[in-house]
Amino acid sequence: MDKKFDVIIVGTGAAGLYAALNFPESVNILLVSKRELQLSNSSLAQGGVACVLDTVHDSYKLHITDTLIAGKYKNTLSAVEKLVTEGPSDVLKIKDLGVDFDLNEDGTMCKTLEAGHSRNRIVHHKDSTGKAIVDGLIAKVTQLKNVTVCDNALVYAIDKVLNGFYISILRNGEKLHYGCNYCLLATGGIGRVYKYTTNSAIATGDGIAFAYMLGARIKNLSRIQFHPTAFAADHGRERFLISEAVRGEGAVLLNCNGERFASNYDSRGELAPRDVVS
């Protein structure tokens, strides 16, 4: 074994980076990135973050209701409640950490509308919110003395051992082996299993596979989020995302005859949830 850490975090999107920032400085952390730190699905996100910051015109109850409707009431209610009630404080925290959200003249955060939401509650940084969040968190994480970054590193095995885990990594042709008391999998989704995707090339479901092999129960694998609108390029699997925030600001969908059609299938038209628009 090359070294032992208290915690190893696999994945450097918003979840992995934010987790590293929330551990005490006494905790020794290894942060593993499959490619460069800046490449993740998080960094490709455009539209923004949904959170209730204006309790005069919006409410937690309304946000919860919108989320349940979009999820056809198959959501885990406790998870939705946690997301909605704790999310705003985390957004304000990453703002304090230096993430550059767009602001109104009075200093409040600009809020736009996205599909599935009945109120303007999407805070953003232009049309590259994910990159702004990831870049801001990277700037803070790389300043921490208790965090070691291992980038361009492929985790190829995770083994459960007494009092922790044993992580095997391939980096620059060299095999590395690290131990830890706790392992946090923040590896993102599986969009790359499809022929065309707005996900990055590294969204290959590694973390789900490792969790399964370690004994975790995997459920709802069929419920995969799609961004319905993407640029129809002539070549390549990765398609440039056209954010649904564009539709939130009034853009419409047209068929090959130049006719609007979304309202033929759902009364919410272009602002129906993603599964419907897809």
CATH number at residue 198: 3.50.50.60
Q: Give pLDDT, residue 2.
A: 83
Active-site amino acid positions = 274
Domain hosting residue 185, numbered range: 3-213
Q: 221 — alpha (psi -120 to 50), left (phi > 0) or beta? A: alpha
Dihedral (CA of 147, 148, 152, 154) sign = negative
The answer to the question of residue 150 being in a domain is yes
Taking every pair of C-alpha atoms in the chain, what is the biggest distance, in angstroms?
Answer: 64
pTM: 0.89
Which two structure tokens, joined as six digits, stand for 38? 């800046």
Q: What is the pLDDT of residue 75?
A: 93
- Residues of the chain short of pLDDT 70, as ranges, are none
Number of domains in the chain: 1
Whether 273 is in a domain gets the answer no
Domain-located, residue 123: yes
